[in-house]
Amino acid sequence: MAGITLQDGTGKGYRAKITKRGALLVRSIITPIAGFFATEGETYYCSTDLVSYTTTGTPLLLAYLRNTREVPFHISRILVSSVAQARVKLIKSPISIANGIDVTPVNANFDSGKEFVGTFSRGQDTGTVAGGTIFASLLSLGGPTMFPVEEAIILGQGKSLAITAQVPVATEVNATIVGHYQDS
C-alpha cells in the first residue's frame, strides 16, 4: 500500500517517523524566551550602577529608557536595589527628563555586534522627571527588589519609561532593566 511520506525541506532526505501507535514522532526543545532572544542578539541589560542621592523627600530620576527602533522593546525584568529605604515609581511616557547621564546598554550575547537603538540614561542627585503617568510604585526597604513585569511592559517606537527614586535619607540606589526586541 502506497502511503504519504513527509520529508524535511532541507534537501538532506530526512523523513518523519511514526510511533508504534501510529502517531507522528516529534521532538521539541523548550527555550526560555530570554535565552532565545539572547541567542539572537536581541536581549539587553540597561543598568544604572549605583546612583548617590543626598537630596531627600523629592522623586529624582533613577533611570530612563526610550526605544527609537521600529521594533517593539519588551521589558522582562526591572530590578531595583537600594542601600536604605527608597520609594520607587515607574512612569509611562514622561514629557521630559533633566540631568540624566547616557549609558550604553549591554547586549546579553557577547558575540553579537547588535546595539540597543534608543536612549538609556541613569539619574543623579539633580536628575528630574516631568509629566507622564505613574503606573507602578513600590517601597524598597534596602537590598534588591524586583518589579514582576514578566514581559508586560512594551515600548513601541518613540515610547519611553522613567524610574524615579525618592529617599528619606542620603543613600545609593541602582536599577537594571532587562528586555529584548520583539522577533522581527
Model confidence pLDDT, tens digit, residues 90-148: 999 999 999 999 999 999 999 999 999 999 999 999 999 999 999 999 888 888 888 77
Rounded CA gap, 33 and 150, in Å? 11
Task: Quote the DSSP letter at residue 73.
Answer: E
- Is residue 172 scored above 60 in pLDDT? yes
10 Å CB burial of residue 176 (0-12, 13-18, 19+) is middle
pTM of the model: 0.82
Distance CA 103, CA 120 (A): 6
Q: Where are the domains of the chain?
A: 33-181
**Mean pLDDT across the chain, nearest whole number?**
90
Q: What is the pLDDT of residue 149?
A: 80
- What's the CA dihedral at 91, 96, 101, 105 to 10 degrees? 50
User: Which has more confidence, 34 or 159?
Assistant: 159
Write the CATH number of the domain with boundaries 33-181: 2.60.120
pLDDT confidence of residue 2 = 63
Neighbours of 62 (CB within 10 A): 28
10 Å Cβ neighbour count for 133? 9
Q: Burial code of 44-55, b = ≥16 C-beta within 10 A, e = fewer?
A: bbbbbeebebee
- Average pLDDT score over residue span 156-169: 96
